[in-house]
Amino acid sequence: MIYGIALFPDKDVQDAANSWRIRHDPHYCNIPAHMTLREAEEWDDIMVERAVTHLEEVAGSVKPFHVTFNRVSSFFPVSNVLYYALEDPSEVEKLHQAICSGPGMQQPYNYVYTPHVTIGRNMPEGELHDLYGKLRMSRVNLTSYIDRIHLLYQTEQGGWTAYQSFQLRG
């Protein structure tokens, strides 16, 4: 089965992201607006057990924190993705590092980890530039309280659902 690890921002952030995702993100119906902490990967039952143990340890050592999304940015030309960017990504980056440092949790990345909430993906280049030009001029000030991480799995229909959630209590 395919598993991944994510954060879900507060409802107002999800609502703001979803107002764009409904038209510009083909994954809109499969998963709520989120921040990926670890990319999806096929795991067996042993790896799931290891991940649960590790995520419990991480959650026990990390305090809840606030994040602020302050702008729209893009991964172009690497990929045609628009996203809400964090004013200060350091807390999410530390959490990502803690999660990916566990046994069997290391993943080879071909990119620098950038915590974000996607608002559009797989867009034609012209549409991406038009929308980005419009959105980068708009004011973004969305805050979210992060107090848990979620181990998710992908269903046979392609949707994602929570396998287990871990409350941050450090």
Domain boundary assignment for the chain: 2-167
The pTM is what?
0.94
Residues assigned a catalytic role: 34, 116
* Strand partners for 152: 4, 162
């879900």: which residue's tokens? 8
Average pLDDT (26-50) is 95
Distance set, CA 163 to CA 3, 4, 6, 18 (Å): 9, 10, 11, 23
C-alpha angle with apex 68: 148 to 94, nearest 5 degrees? 50
- CATH fold of 2-167 reads Cyclic Phosphodiesterase; Chain: A, (3.90.1140)
pLDDT tier at 34, thresholds 50, 70, 90 = very high
pLDDT tier at 133, thresholds 50, 70, 90 = very high
Greater confidence, 114 or 105?
Answer: 114
